[in-house]
Amino acid sequence: MPSGSPTSGVGRVVAGRYLLLNRLGSGGMGHVWLAHDQRLACEVALKEIVFRDPAEADEREARVARARAEARHAAGLRGHPHVVTVHDVLEHEGLPWIVMEYVAGAVDLRDLIDRHGPPAPAECARIGLAVLDALTAGHERGVMHRDVKPANILLAPDRSGAPHGRVLLADYGISVQPDAGETRYTLASALVGTAGYLAPERVTGGAPTPATDLFSLGCTLYHAVEGRGPFDRESHLAQVTAVVMEEPRPAARAGALGPVVRALLEKDPARRMSAAEAEAALSRIVMPEADAYARTRTDLGSQPHWGGAPPGTPITPMTPITPMTPMTPESPPPSEPVSGQRRTRPRILHAVLAGLLGLALAGAGAWYAVDRESDPGGSGRPYGDAVGLGDPLKAGDCVLADWPGTSAFRGTPRLRLDPSCREQAPDGQVMAFVAAASAAEARREGPAACEERTEAIRERLADVRGYAVVPSEAGFEAAGGRTACLVLGAHGPVFGPLGEHRKAGSAFADTATMQRRDCLDVRSRRDARLVSCADPHDEQVLGFTRLGADATLTEARTESDTACAREVPPRDYGFDPSVYTAGSWTSEGSWKNGTHFVVCTVRKQNGGTMEGDEP
């Protein structure tokens, strides 16, 4: 059972006063419960801190401190009409619980959009005006929210009876007062904020300012009116990269709200729309005849216009970077870690942290499947004419994928086999199969089942996606009635076998096939081999980070150790810092495809071998 979670759930009494009635929801820090205050005979909301993984116990102090900080910051805004009121913070069985206002009938903006579709631009402006009012009140106290997004905006009935008339900003859990010199309680494995809603200057290591919250507000308004975020991509890293390097997708439904959103999404904070300008612009949309600088009110507007329009269009997969050139024997293999080097310029994207890269990027993004409707496969080929294979795929087959057009993961790829799994730098490998009773069942259930079957391997790799190759109607029998579950490089080849198809003692041709918890036998500056972690080994892979777009491969080989020591510190994985130190591996492949991934490892400071006694 997770540490800190109630042993009996509903019916438990916290701090001798609050009777838990039911769970309202869960978030990054824990659960929120509806509770009855037995002393005042009223209902309240209790936020409970939860450690879902034993490894998180090491972060207990920081998590507890963050909870206290959330209560302190939100309590400073007590009584504001657009901020969820915090009443108290208490400790129960050694962990803090935050006692908050219970907002009856509330639903968060993200869920509302998912269920009913985007509201009209004027209604989005009304919501934005209320959130802006809450943010401004915090900014006047020196408090930045740092996580403005649709899920943190609650809509509830107001006194007039409008079901979504009341707008509230929630969750000050990662807020900070930068001028107060207070500790910023963040987790080493978590992104401070939400990918796709962070301001570019925060991604690149800048301090939180009112302008960073305004950028997040712009992302939120875009999501509200369009049904998806302006930088929605198939992975967290892709979203973070898009925030820094790409312009938001043009808004199709924004109408009069469009110019406001564009001005809030200005990447240069010095040119970004100010709070006063945003307030004036939003007020003109909500109340055209009203004073441009009038403050929003709790009863502003009437019942929101939540039409029956379907939710926003599906997320379009990110256009990937041009596929990389396969590594040649003349190209340098992964470099040996170089310790003791300090970077000379701030190239690292601080917000792209180890846990985010290793987990979210690895496979939590979109899942892709061959479109059978457009390729019935009249020839009887197992997967249709577009895929082109004459024989069914087998477990461990390495494939090369030729995509139509210029963008990978769009349309149906033509697949070819690479029997050697190395000679032609394969794009991916068959990792599992899903059997079905019919071609229709394969189309219906194959992709989701493949996603589940390959989740573990995708989470251990830095830059891959899943792809389900579904049998065609005519080729169902030839395919053995099975959907083939592939794992493909997200931005280029994988340069060799993956997962269990790798053999002990085999040399890594590129860092693309290095996985979390791999143990390495380092034979030279250019030669690392996969070995069993039960045997003596020189290094172990902990995770991944990324260097900035302007870092060259030569520079990376001197900067990567420092980046890994900061972003993926071995101590966070239980390694004694007096004995172990951070190492890193880079390769030409991730520089040719533009991802600039670095594999972060741990090794002994004295250069000795690790022999199974590590955490």
- Which residue numbers belong to the known binding site for ATP? 47
Q: How many helices (H) and strands (E) does the chain have?
A: 14, 20
* The dihedral sign for the CA sequence 290, 296, 302, 303: positive
Work out the burial of residue 547: count CB atoms within 10 Å of its CB; fewer than 13 is exposed, 13-18 middle, 19 or more buried. Answer: buried
For residues 255-270, b (16+ Cβ closer than 10 Å) or e, as one string?
A: eebbebbbbbbbbebe
Give the CA distances from residue 9 to residues 93, 100, 569, in Å, rounded to whole numbers and listed in that order: 15, 18, 36
**Whole-angstrom distance, CA of residue 512 vs CA of residue 342:** 25
| Contact in structure between 357 and 544 (CB atoms under 8 Å) | yes
* Neighbour-count burial for 149-187, b at 16+ CB within 10 Å, e otherwise: bbbbbbbbbbeeebebbbbbbbbbbbbbbeeeeeebbbb
Following DSSP, what letter does each residue of 333-394 receive, concatenated? -SPPP--S---SS--S-TTS-HHIIIIIIHHSS--EE--STT---TT--TT-TTT--SS---
Residue 510 CB contacts under 8 Å (≥ 6 apart), including other chains: 327, 333, 334, 493, 494, 495, 496, 587, 588, 589, 590
Instruction: Please tell me the distance from the alpha carbon of residue 603 to that of residue 537, in angstroms, as a whole number.
Output: 9
Residues 147, 375, 521, 561: which is the catalytic one? 147
Task: Tell me the CA end-to-end span of the chain in Å, nearest whole number.
Answer: 21
CA dihedral 599, 349, 465, 110 (to 10 degrees): 140
Q: How many residues does the chain have?
A: 615
Coil, strand or helix at 151: helix
Beta bridge partners of 543: 600
Tokens for 589, please give them. Answer: 């492949």
Per the structure block, which two tokens stand in for 473?
């109607």
- Contact present, 224 and 305 (Cβ < 8 Å): no
- Rounded to the nearest 10 degrees, the angle between the axes of helix 109-116 and helix 210-226 is 20
Binding-site sequence positions: 47
239 vs 243: CA distance, rounded Å: 6
Per the annotation, the verdict on 147 as an active-site residue is yes
Q: Which of 273, 270, 271 is nearest to 261 (CA)?
A: 273
d(CA 466, CA 487) in angstroms, rounded, equals 5
Burial 475-488 (b: 16+ CB within 10 A, else e): bbebbebbbbbbbb
Active site residues: 147
